């Protein structure tokens, strides 16, 4: 296997990584509750769990 002849400096390494940036998550608005949430994630509204605008788990039903 090949081995590097010299250590890559921190500056050179960081220059290569300048394009790796965190992006803001895409948000959606629920048509049922009007809650703003992340795409493809379940979200809580008043203790109830919703996913894709449908009630998945209700705190009142569990008790």
* Per-residue model confidence (pLDDT) at position 20: 84
Burial of 40 (0-12, 13-18, 19+ CB in 10 A): exposed
List per-residue pLDDT tens for the chain, 63 residues long.
889 899 999 999 999 998 888 889 999 999 989 999 999 999 999 999 999 999 999 987 766
* Per-residue model confidence (pLDDT) at position 21: 86
Q: Hey, where are the domains in the chain?
A: 25-62
- Give the Cα separation of 44 and 58 in Å (integer): 10
Number of Cβ within 10 Å of residue 48's Cβ equals 15
- Give the Cα separation of 30 and 53 in Å (integer): 6
- Give the Cα separation of 28 and 7 in Å (integer): 46
* Per-residue model confidence (pLDDT) at position 27: 95
For the entire predicted model, the pTM comes to: 0.61
- Give the Cα separation of 53 and 47 in Å (integer): 15
């Amino acid at each position: 296997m090949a081995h590097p002849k010299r250590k890559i400096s921190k500056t050179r390494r960081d220059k290569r990584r300048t394009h790796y940036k965190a992006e803001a998550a895409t948000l959606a608005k629920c048509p049922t509750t009007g809650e703003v949430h992340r795409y493809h994630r379940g979200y809580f509204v008043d203790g109830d769990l919703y996913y894709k605008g449908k009630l998945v788990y209700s705190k009142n039903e569990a008790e």
